[in-house]
Every structure is written in C-alpha cells, then in structure tokens.
Amino acid sequence: MQIKGIKKGRTIEIFEDIDIPDGQEISLSIEAGGGFWQRLQHFRQELESEEIWIEPDVFDGVRDSSPGREVTL
C-alpha cells in the first residue's frame, strides 16, 4: 500500500482514508524528495547492505550502440 501525507510537527496527516483500525501499530518508509543522484546512491546502499550483486553482463545488449540520427542545426 502506498499513501501520501504531510508532516506537521510530530504528526503525519494522511490525505486519504485507509482501512486500518485505530490503535493499530504501523511501520512507515519515508521518501523525502531528493534528485536522481541521491536516490541512485540510496538504491546502491540498499543493495550493498543486503549483499545483492548485479552481474555486469545482465546489461549486455540493453543499450542500442548505433550512432543514432543525424542532427542538423
């Protein structure tokens, strides 16, 4: 489940109703902005901490190596 809300002091106000009883303990994963580079670094840290390794040959042939179209100005 993915929900959105806004932090106000020590409270997080949720924008929509969720089907969880009052008093139910929940766990949150917080994603706060950041650009591509910060998110990439976070992703790499998660892989490293979980000892996940992606073999380089997984990406062989994924990118088109042709020079592409000619651009005229």
What is the DSSP-derived secondary structure letter of residue 16? S
21-71 pLDDT per residue, tens: 999 998 888 777 678 888 888 888 888 888 888 888 888 888 888 888 888
Place of tokens 């062989």: 60
pTM (predicted TM-score): 0.36
Q: Are 41 and 25 in contact (CB under 8 A)?
A: no
d(CA 22, CA 36): 36
18 within 8 A of 2, measured Cβ to Cβ: no
Give residue 3's pLDDT. Answer: 83
Q: Is the pLDDT of residue 8 over 80?
A: yes
39 sits in which H/E element: helix 36-49
